[in-house]
Amino acid sequence: MDNESVNVQKKLSLPKEKGSSSGFWLVVLGAALWGVDPLFRIILLKSLTSTQIVLLEHIIIVLFVAPILWRQRSELRGLGMKHVAALLFLSWGGSAFATILFTKGLVDGNINAVLLLQKLQPLFAIILARMLLKERLPRHFSVLFILALVGTYLLTFGFKVPFGHWNEFVQVGSLFSLGAAALWGGSTVMGRLMVGQMKYETVTSLRFILALPLLFAITWSEGAAWNLPTGTLAIAGVSLNLLGQALLPGLLSLLVYYKGLTTTKASVATFAELSFPMVGVLINWIVFQEIITSAQILGFVLIWGALFVISRQSQSVKAGL
């Protein structure tokens, strides 16, 4: 086998390691778009269950991405079992099971404890990125990691202790939340693995298409009635919100996210995803008139400070290549 063939195989088996400041900020933007989800979901929840909304959202998105996958179907050739497993992890674990576990955690446990444990998602992503992708951590990563987690804590809970007793923290709901955090953190790593194998548009398409059979099964087993609205205006309102939900925090966010992930390490991307809770707080303030506290402002500063330093380091790595 000649050297050229060996180099081609290496490119196909390893994710890209090139640092990119622009890629990092694309991940920030993609995750930030998830924060506009409540604008659509709150209205839709008046008529549909969460599972029904996710199913309809995926059906709409698949109509858009199916032609993309068909045009780029040649990329599916030569995928190994680990790549198939990564894709199923993305579509089933990250999209379906993680959401179900998190929802059950909110129902069965202390809400504050569940939200706090969900903030451990970056830790799972960092550990898996080290194990599976052999990623090196940026300089002063542990300090930046702590600052970002403290900032996220302040965004969520302020200066208050979120629970009074240990038994409020250690519950079944806490285990559900840990499971969701692990799946979401793992999805970041699996996404980074796959964008090293195929185009980001193909990864995005497969994430939604592969999730459809599972979502059909979950929705059917749920057995909830489809309380669709009646009347032209009501149907138009739900349809527009469903379309907006599918295309903005659904399809567009993941296209931008995976585009950025092609040049961003998973351990770094998990920091960029903290833009999600920040935008969520801003939406609550601007749209739902929830006042931003001094603790949340401090949380913003800490998170954006950590993101800025990481971005500068990514830019320095790119310049040095």
Q: What is the pLDDT of residue 170?
A: 55
Q: Is residue 7 part of a domain?
A: no
Q: Is residue 13 part of a domain?
A: no
**Distance (Å, rounded) from C-alpha 299 to C-alpha 157?**
10
Does residue 62 fall inside a structural domain?
yes
Q: How many domains does the chain have?
A: 1
Task: Determine, yes or no, domain membership for 24.
Answer: no
149-163, 212-226, 233-247: which has the minimum mean pLDDT? Answer: 149-163
pLDDT of residue 203: 95
Q: Give the structural domain span for 282.
A: 31-320
Q: Is 107 exposed, middle or buried (0-12, 13-18, 19+ CB in 10 A)?
A: exposed
Mean pLDDT for the stretch of residues 132-154: 85
The mean pLDDT of 190-205, rounded to a whole number, is 94
15 lies in some domain: no
Reported as a single tens digit per residue, the pLDDT across 18-52 is: 556 789 999 999 999 988 887 888 788 888 888 88
Burial grade of 299 (CB within 10 A; 0-12, 13-18, 19 or more) = buried
**CB atoms inside a 10 Å sphere around CB 40:** 22
Residue 18 is assigned to a structural domain of this protein: no
